[in-house]
Amino acid sequence: QGTLVESGGGLVQPGGSLRLTCAPSASISMFYRVDWYRQAPGKQREEIAGITRESVTHYSDSVKGRFTVSRDPGPNEVYLQMDSLKPEDTAVYYCHTNSWPNIWGQGTQVTVSS
């Protein structure tokens, strides 16, 4: 079993930006796809973005045009660039891959507040 470690969260004002990093314990090249999820207080975890091994991306309507997912096999990381952040983006953010369906990291907290 592997591990997924998310980092880069923090407190940011509305309209600000953050870049999250996902660092799996195995080469990202072995995963067909890596996805980003988030879970806000009192809400279910939702999938918001993902990227395939061929760098094909997808986004939920709630983040399309504001978030960008990318991958870099060099440092073996997957990123989520978040721009134009809104208070409703406040959540714990997780990365996940169906190659390891039962593995979830600790997540990283993102708080958007003035």
Run of H or E including 8: none
Ramachandran quadrant class, 107 (left: phi over 0; alpha: psi -120 to 50; beta: rest): left
Percent of the chain with pLDDT over 90: 85
| Total residue count of the chain as it appears in this document | 114
In the chain, count of helices (H) and strands (E)?
Answer: 0, 10
DSSP per residue over 72-97, as a string? ETTTTEEEEEE-S--GGG-EEEEEE-
Output the six-digit token pair for 72: 């870099």
Using alpha carbons, select from 35, 33, 1, 30 the residue that is nearest to residue 20: 35
Q: Tell me the average pLDDT across 66-95.
A: 96
DSSP H helical ranges for 5-75? none
pLDDT tens per residue, range 2-51: 899 999 999 999 999 999 999 998 888 888 899 999 999 999 999 999 99
User: Bridge partners of 75?
Assistant: none
| Confidence category of residue 57, pLDDT binned at 50, 70, 90 | very high
